[in-house]
Amino acid sequence: MKRCSFFALASVFLLSVLCVCSPSQAANTIKVGIVDTYTGPATTFTNDVLDGFKLAVQKINASGGILGKKIEFTTRDEKFKPDIGLAMAKELVLKEKVDILMGTINSATTLAISDFVRKEKIPFFVTFAKSDKIVAEKGHRYIFNMNENTEMAGRAAAIALAKKPYVKYWIAGDDYEYGHAIAEGVWNNLKKLKPSVQKVGETWWKVGEADFTPYITQILAAKPDFIIVATGGSGMVNFQKAARATGLSQKVPFYQHTATELSVLAPQGQNAPEGVFGTANYFFYYPDTAQNRAFVADFKKAYNRNPRIGALYGYMTAQFIAEGYKKAGKIDKEKFVTALEGMTLDSPVGKLEIRKCDHQLLLPMYFGVTKKDAKYEFLIASGIETIEGKDYVPSCEEVLKHRKQ
């Protein structure tokens, strides 16, 4: 029995190796494999990415596809587990023979897949994962980051916060990689821009912490001027609710990356706290340009809800894929990658460029503060300051020096 199963395994392995080595068939479609988390609290974000992507794909396919080929896509749920995500990515490439990979909201999975696609030379578009290692330490030719990373978000926030009069800062957040990365991104850059700021203390709570009252009372007792709150996911809403319940938002101003996003403010309705500072890459109501209005209308018609940042990531990824092949002129991986470098496309938030040196998409960042608005059932960002992508992205030298050559 044992020898039999070993033999079976060996022949399966041999066959799959042969399949990989055979030349890729000239399919009639361009296949995109999406690995993402569709289980648990992250689902609210990843559904946006998928819907935005689907919307663009429908449009592209309706107008003839890319070089006569239609875009086909398939999704795999990694359940926020890197080992599952990597296995799914391998299955998509080796068995489903996808041309392009896309995903994921989990940075650990993204980095694992990045190593894999580097060897397999499959273009990989990152949506939502925010680790700065994606383009820096672990960056390479085949990876494209379609969203901001923690270092960029930190810089943008620091640019805005350095103009404010606060001096004594407290840093608090979720005790995991994302929380620490955001906090460090903001703090290190703020200290560079405004050396007079002081860190009076730090608090870290477990990811998924639901009861912030004990931490908030501790922070209030230290009387800082401002708090940098590094929460992610459902921690955003939990913290804002606790801030309102304890009156923190009226006592000490604080900042969270994505505090002003619809995904955080909409569930709370009129009960969200006012006066919270936040950075975000997309609002459906700002900028009020024809492009944005058209995108919002299309999305609403298709999905009966307002688009959020994930939708923009998915939508633009599809557009760039289409344009990349069109510019390359043929279905050739290497020409496709080269065509994308430095490409600029129109988008609902203006012209977006994929930077040539590190394949980072340069999105504008909006720094604003939450405020009630009679037109909407939820709070929106007000006093919006736009920070252009090129102003808050680390320079090419800084990014590339992290890469081992």
Query: Where does this chain bind another protein (CB under 8 A)?
Result: 38-44, 46-47, 175, 202-206, 208-211, 213-218, 220-221, 234, 236-238, 241-242, 245-248, 251, 263-264, 267-269, 271
| Spatial CA neighbour of 126 closest among 162, 90, 89, 101 | 101
Closest distance between another protein and the C-beta of residue 245, in Å?
4
Would you say 64 or 269 has its CB closer to another protein? 269
Q: Which two tokens stand for residue 344?
A: 């600029």
Closest distance between another protein and the C-beta of residue 234, in Å?
5
Would you say 194 or 305 has its CB closer to another protein? 305
Closest distance between another protein and the C-beta of residue 212, in Å?
9
Would you say 33 or 173 has its CB closer to another protein? 173
For 261-300, give the DSSP string.
SHHHHGGGGGGSPSS-EEEES-BTTBS--HHHHHHHHHHH
Closest distance between another protein and the C-beta of residue 374, in Å?
18
Would you say 234 or 281 has its CB closer to another protein? 234
Closest distance between another protein and the C-beta of residue 264, in Å?
8
Would you say 158 or 236 has its CB closer to another protein? 236
Closest distance between another protein and the C-beta of residue 100, in Å?
24
Q: Across the strands, what pairs with 222?
A: none
**Distance from the Cα of residue 28 to its chain's centroid:** 31
* C-alpha span between 221 and 216 (Å, rounded): 9
Would you say 30 or 171 has its CB closer to another protein? 171
Pairing of strands 365-371, 277-280: antiparallel
CB 49 within 8 A of CB 128: yes
Would you say 16 or 218 has its CB closer to another protein? 218
Residues whose CB falls within 8 Å of the CB of residue 237, separated by 6 or more in sequence, listed in order:
264, 267, 268
Closest distance between another protein and the C-beta of residue 56, in Å?
21
* C-alpha span between 363 and 156 (Å, rounded): 11
Pairing of strands 365-371, 380-387: antiparallel
Residues whose CB falls within 8 Å of the CB of residue 69, separated by 6 or more in sequence, listed in order:
27, 28, 29, 30, 331
Would you say 215 or 285 has its CB closer to another protein? 215
Q: What is the largest CA-CA distance in the chain?
A: 75
Q: What angle do CA 205, 206, 208 make, to 5 degrees?
A: 115
Closest distance between another protein and the C-beta of residue 299, in Å?
15
